Structure 1
Amino acid sequence: MHTARHLPDFSLQGKLALVTGSTQGLGLAIAQAYAASGARVVINGRRPERVDAAVASLARDGYTAHAFVHDIGRIGEQEAAFDALCREAGPPDILVNNVGIRIRKTLEEAALADILDLINIDLVASVHLSKLAAAAMARKGKPGRIITLTSIAGELARPGDAIYPIAKQGLAGMVRALAVEYGGQGITSNGIAPGTFATETNAGLAADPVKGPIVVGRNPLGRWAQPHEIAGAAVFLASPSASYVNGHILVVDGGFSITF
């Protein structure tokens, strides 16, 4: 019996994965999971000391990681920085668009600078980097993966948080647009929509004596997610097992977005 051919393949052996914003939180958890699955990973962040610390941590665990100190939101410098990375580490087989900021303001409170900052960093920067990465993947002539962290906030909205859902819904549209644009070149585009994860960014919300319990109470699993719980979805979408998954957004929220 040849049962091995029917088993799913989640190995990332021989792949190079660039994960933006990967010095902490979900980005770091994804990078760690990719490394454990056999990939070389590129750790990205704005602060050299944090990038170096994450690279060193992976190296201590026996994994190969490259440092990519670059502010993804500086879109005008993105192409030169990406080209330098490709010369040093090689063109990525996998891109994870994870970088993002959140400005919790009503639209009335938000200044134009707030709106432009969030849209540029959360949406435009990912569109441009995806374009660069797809071109590099196409030149390699091998299957590529673009995975984008959207959010359940792309489908849901709440008072006092007006700009973030707009950008995240834009990313959901980008996932589908890239899937159609590059599918014929063997490059798939998919998204992950996380729910409420206990990351450094959400520490304030989790500790809030009023809002924290509301989040937990609404979730069918009755708890916050831990960062490592994003890993399964991220590895699956990057792996050979997802070879025919394209233009899909996988929700990882414990059921939060299906309750009312």
Structure 2
Amino acid sequence: MNLSTPTYAASDQGLDRRSVVTAAAWSVPVIAAAVAAPMAAASGTSTSCAVIPVGGFEVIGGTLSSNGSIGSSPETDGNFGTGWTPAKEPAGDSSTGYTQTDYAVAPAPASWWQGGGEVAEPGFLSLDDHNNTDGASQEPVTVALQFAVDVTAGTTYDFVLPIYTAAGYLGTQHLDVSITGAGVSLPGVVQGYVGDKSISVVPAAVEDYPVLGASQTPAVSFTPSSSGLVFFAYTFTLSYVSGGARQNADMLVQAPQLTSCV
């Protein structure tokens, strides 16, 4: 998957349903080397338990909207709530004049905007919407990203995948997590959705996903048959929303956490 760094930028103004936080600034990191630290923990050389993100994130099949009910894109109005968390420097994109905003990092300590999940470890926040205006395309918009970890053949690895959801009264957003690489193939280890199906045009490919709760930490275990990189691929699917506030529900995922890390 070719994951390119997005060019979106954002101001520090909150969105309608997310204005309860005081936003902090961030920008999307570009990580060229896809090697994570936690595998060194067994030898006592690392205290980091989180898998690192790789590259940027890719928006497929349409554009993100900072406010689905009016169809304004983050590039147009500067409101942007989708991307890596917690906050990262530099604070903004000088070419646009906007400051990119991470709605997950306030109030301190860093937490999910509606309360609940702490985001001290790296993660990703999917807070923007499909363009849900009348006449807009009803094809879904997907956001794809990856985390990567360096593994050793024959070693069993146990991870938890923290996932938080909010604004479930809005239109649906769906999540698939698949794991591949280094002799590992685990499609759809986590699948779920949050939101109101009655006001959403739910794509057939995700219509059977179970509903997600406000907070969950599904576990996954694998033993790679070869040494190398294993990729955790996260795909968020935003349905077209035809009713209500015409916005999509929200998700926050933390980076996969190695449970045996100390």
Name the TM-score class by shorter chain. under 0.3
Higher RCO structure (Cα 8 Å, ≥6 apart) = 2
Of Structure 1 and Structure 2, which has the larger fraction of its residues in strand?
A: 2
Structure showing the higher helix proportion among its residues: 1
Tell me the TM-score normalised to structure 1 length.
0.26
TM-score normalized by structure 2? 0.26
